[in-house]
A and B are shown apart, each in its own frame.
Chain A
Amino acid sequence: MTEERDPKVSARYAELPREEPPREVDAAILARAHRAVGERPAPLVSPAGRRRWYFPLAAAAVIVLSAVVTLRMEREQPEADGVALRRDKPAPAAKPEAKTVAEPVPKAVEPERRSAQPPPAPAPAKPAEKAVAAARDAAGPALGAATAKIEPAPAAPPAQVQARGEAKPFPGAGTAASAPQARALARSAQVREEASAEMAAKRDVAETPEKWLERIAELRRKGEHEEADKQLAEFRKRHPGYRIPEAMLERVERR
């Protein structure tokens, strides 16, 4: 076989330039070869050209979409709570409704209540308040805070009890016609108290003690003593440690 090979000729041939294919030709051939292999695993899917992108693209789109939906749902959950809170809030919106229910009834019953018997709730509260005020006056301002703790607690519940108990004497005492009225009255009183307690609670959150006292003083000035007493009692319940300044005390307490 050696006679078919000449070392001199081979050496001279080796001196010739070593040409290589252009890079773009390399790239085209390799791309084609890889594409051809890529066709094999998925014969049902159209293998060539842009369609090869469809499935990865679709998969990516599904992933992104589901991630967005998940995130959105997570963000909306606190909002759902917010909706629940807002649903709670309509209680104030329902309040006018309660008032509309409550107010006409007292109007209708008012003359009867006024004529039949004096409102029992303020009655026990008044002496208590007076006694406390007198004691406070006697002991000085230092005791004010301590007494404030004691006095509102008994003052409010009796009002409720009285308001509820108020209905009971009616059936026993009165006519068949007055019984529903008494029940309505009791219900309205209860509703009003609940509403005012709720209002007070909300006010408590929003208002500063000074503002609250100012409002009580305003009620007192307008002659709405009943409401002022109630508010003052509520105030003392909410702020047991708060020392009402002497000047303010004169304005908020019934004289």
Chain B
Amino acid sequence: MLQYREGAGAAFDRLYARHKGPLFRFVLRGIRDPAQAEELYQDIWLRVVEARERYAPQARFTTWLYTIAHNRMVDHWRRRGLSIVSLDAEENPALDPPASPAEDPLRKLQSKERIERFMRALEALPPAQREAFLLREEADMSVAQIAAVTAANEEAAKSRLRYALAKLKEAVGDD
């Protein structure tokens, strides 16, 4: 990022290639609307470009990048009528439609079923817990880093992560 700040466009290419997949999945699974996810994802990177002059290597670039992403997602949830506090609450059923019961019989492959079940469990997580879990899995962040990105204290971050893991473990079951 420092190289890019100094004007090396190729440095941005490398940075982008390294982070694009995890960040995109983080956004996509965080808000679950592909169209809005693309828009948000693009907006996050444009903010990175615009903020390059202000970038200071106090933290890892990953932390900085996901902090921008978190802030954009919070804005997104706010626009959808959710407060920051409610991010820890259980998901609004309207925003989290359960899987159609009619779909299950159609699933032939067991592995596919397992994945779907897991996906549904992930989608059913409260946004803050899901975000903590996604930061852990996609960005490989520690609790401290999750806390830094989400502007929460470490205890809160740890608790969110623990709750998320417990629910997902249920979905995994004994498979």
Residues of A whose CB lies within 8 Å of any CB of B are: 1, 3-6, 8-10, 12-13, 15-16, 18-22, 25-26, 28-30, 32-34, 36-38, 40-41
The secondary structure that dominates the A interface is helix
Residues of B whose CB lies within 8 Å of any CB of A are: 4, 7-9, 12-13, 16, 20-21, 24-25, 28, 38, 41-42, 45-46, 49-50, 52, 111, 114-115, 118-119, 122, 136-137, 142-143, 158, 161-162, 165, 168-169, 171-172, 175
CB distance from A216 to the nearest CB of B (A): 87
Nearest-CB residue, chain A, relative to B28: A19
B20 touches A1 (CB 8 A): no
Chain A residues contacting B16 (CB-CB under 8 Å) are 26, 29-30, 33
B169 touches A20 (CB 8 A): no
Nearest-CB residue, chain A, relative to B43: A29
Question: Taking A21-B24, A34-B12, A37-B12 as contacts, is the C-beta distance between A4 and B136 under 8 angstroms?
Answer: yes
Among A10, A12, A33, which residue has its beta carbon within 8 angstroms of that of B4? A33
The secondary structure that dominates the B interface is helix
Question: Taking A26-B20, A30-B12, A33-B12 as contacts, is the C-beta distance between A8 and B169 under 8 angstroms?
Answer: yes
Chain A residues contacting B175 (CB-CB under 8 Å) are 12
Q: Give the CA-CA distance A28 to B42 in the complex, in Å.
A: 8
B20 touches A15 (CB 8 A): no
B162 touches A3 (CB 8 A): yes
